[in-house]
């Protein structure tokens, strides 16, 4: 696993020359290619990689795959253009008109689903030097081939399944689950590609991936190979990036073991709709019921402005913010708390409310598979509040926490009486039930 994570987060698609006129690969328009000459170490045969990936993944190329090799400035400019276009198309309404910060230095390559081109760095960023020094030239060459295989897979996904429909999903938890499918598929294909190139058994390699544990961001950071930009970002950002690739690969490899890449293909028609289904692929494979909360009731004079589903991944980070230090409680790194959440969160919904005077309030409701989970989480949050109050470090906003049966409810920034009345309504709110057929 360490090698896989190092490739993903460390070793970029560098020194990679698209083969002019080669079958199945075309260079991108000249406007995307920098004027400076390609690094002389560019010896990767992109066309050969594309042919092998198409065969391994079982997705033939419908048209040549465009590849553009960029220097650092060109790559950063292309990345920022892609981010701006994504924001203009859909992200603006999801993030309240504020573009979320993203750093091109975190990434070593990416696929632009709007321009339909694979963008590769010409040279390794300076922060990769320490890790690169641990590998032989042949190992680095193999790593670079693997990363190119990952990005080529995205191009094939786009040709067969159209990636924009996943990237423009407004539901936050569903969007994270979709991204885990797309990135996990590319990672699984990369690993199968590397096994083939190394003369190893593909099934053995993917079985190992399916057995990866549900690691959190801190555990993965201990493996090394995370860029300074990613390491310096907040926990939610780090864990979201790592989730897409690592848990995504684990999810796709588990589905692959059940029915190979043909069953993986069926995921694009019936994708995971919650991060819990990525953490626990047996939910999607076996089918059953999926719960969805309707819009939450608002107190008189208030109306909802933003609504989202946290899901299992974001709930970790949301509660970690409430269980913050200096009490030495860090939920995302606390194995007992992760076990409390794992597979237990059946549905949730969060809404921000506002009244005519501009006063905002926050509601969150969660449904769990048993009564122990909400009781344990409520106890920890209340203990955190008491500890804060004792040390005079609490926030001024009131927060009502209620656990009843399999429900957990938070009501924030409202006086006590309306908070309690609203909590009662939330506890009585009936979720919608969606039937999920087994994945075949």
Quick one: DSSP state of residue 101?
P
CA 332, 334, 339, 341 torsion-angle sign:
negative
Q: Residue 360 burial (CB < 10 Å; 0-12/13-18/19+)? A: middle
Per the CB < 8 A criterion, the answer to whether 160 and 59 are in contact is yes
In whole angstroms, give the CA distance from residue 226 to residue 220: 9
Per the CB < 8 A criterion, the answer to whether 312 and 276 are in contact is yes
191, 185, 303: which is closest to 245 by C-alpha?
185
What three-state secondary structure class fits 13? Answer: coil
The CA R_g of the chain, rounded to the nearest whole Å, is 23
CA 165, 166, 167, 172 torsion-angle sign:
positive
What three-state secondary structure class fits 5? Answer: helix
129, 121, 119: which is closest to 225 by C-alpha?
129
In whole angstroms, give the CA distance from residue 187 to residue 180: 10
Tokens matching residue 56: 């391994």
Residue 306 CB: number of other CB atoms within 10 A?
15
> Taking the model in full, what pTM does it have?
0.84
Q: What is the pLDDT at residue 220?
A: 53
Residue 266 CB: number of other CB atoms within 10 A?
14
328, 319, 320: which is closest to 387 by C-alpha?
328
pLDDT per residue as tens, the chain (440 positions): 333 333 344 333 222 333 333 445 665 544 444 333 334 235 678 889 999 999 999 999 999 999 888 888 999 899 989 888 877 775 444 434 455 556 777 777 889 999 999 998 887 777 676 667 777 877 877 888 898 999 999 999 999 999 998 887 888 899 999 999 999 999 999 999 999 999 999 999 999 999 886 554 455 555 455 666 666 666 667 777 788 988 999 999 999 999 999 999 999 999 999 999 999 999 999 998 999 999 999 988 999 888 999 999 889 888 877 776 544 445 444 566 677 888 899 999 999 999 989 999 999 999 999 999 999 999 988 888 887 777 776 655 688 999 999 999 999 999 999 999 999 999 999 999 999 999 98
In whole angstroms, give the CA distance from residue 396 to residue 329: 21
Quick one: DSSP state of residue 317?
H
């Amino acid at each position: 696993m360490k090698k896989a994570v190092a490739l993903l987060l460390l070793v970029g698609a560098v020194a990679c020359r698209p083969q002019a006129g080669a079958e199945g690969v075309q260079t991108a328009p000249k406007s995307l290619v920098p004027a400076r000459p390609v690094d002389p170490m560019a010896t990767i045969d992109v066309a050969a990689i594309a042919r092998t990936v198409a065969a391994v993944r079982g997705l033939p190329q419908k048209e040549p795959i465009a590849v553009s090799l960029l220097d650092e400035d060109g790559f950063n400019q292309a990345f920022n253009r892609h981010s701006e276009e994504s924001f203009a198309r859909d992200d603006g309404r999801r993030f309240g008109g504020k573009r979320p910060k993203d750093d091109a230095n975190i990434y070593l390559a990416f696929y632009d689903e709007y321009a339909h081109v694979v963008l590769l760095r010409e040279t390794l960023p300076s922060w990769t030097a320490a890790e690169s020094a641990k590998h032989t030239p042949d190992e680095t060459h193999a790593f670079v081939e693997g990363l190119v295989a990952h990005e080529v897979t995205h191009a094939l996904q786009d040709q067969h399944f159209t990636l924009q429909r996943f990237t423009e999903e407004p539901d936050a938890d569903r969007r994270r689950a979709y991204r885990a499918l797309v990135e996990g598929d590319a990672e699984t294909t990369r690993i199968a590609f590397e096994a083939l190139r190394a003369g190893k058994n593909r099934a053995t390699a993917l079985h190992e991936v399916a057995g990866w544990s549900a690691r959190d961001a801190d555990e993965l950071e201990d493996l090394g190979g995370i860029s300074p930009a990613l390491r310096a970002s907040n926990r939610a950002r780090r864990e979201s990036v790592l989730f897409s690739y690592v848990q995504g690969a684990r999810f796709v490899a588990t589905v692959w073991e059940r029915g190979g890449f043909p069953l993986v293909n069926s995921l694009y028609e019936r994708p995971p709709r919650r991060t819990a289904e990525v953490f626990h692929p047996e939910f999607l494979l076996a089918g059953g019921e999926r719960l969805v909360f309707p819009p939450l009731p608002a107190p008189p004079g208030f109306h909802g402005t933003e609504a989202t589903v946290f899901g299992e991944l974001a709930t970790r980070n949301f509660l970690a913010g409430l269980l913050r230090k200096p009490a030495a409680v860090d939920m995302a790194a606390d194995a007992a708390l992760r076990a409390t959440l794992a597979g237990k969160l059946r549905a949730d919904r969060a809404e921000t409310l506002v009244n005519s005077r501009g006063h905002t309030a926050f509601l969150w409701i969660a449904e769990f598979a048993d009564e122990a989970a909400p009781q344990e989480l409520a106890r920890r949050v209340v203990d955190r509040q008491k500890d804060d109050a004792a040390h005079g470090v609490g926030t001024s906003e009131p927060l009502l926490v209620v656990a009843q049966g399999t429900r957990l409810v938070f009501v924030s920034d409202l006086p006590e009486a309306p908070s309690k009345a609203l909590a009662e309504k939330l506890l009585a709110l009936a979720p919608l039930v969606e039937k999920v057929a087994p994945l075949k």
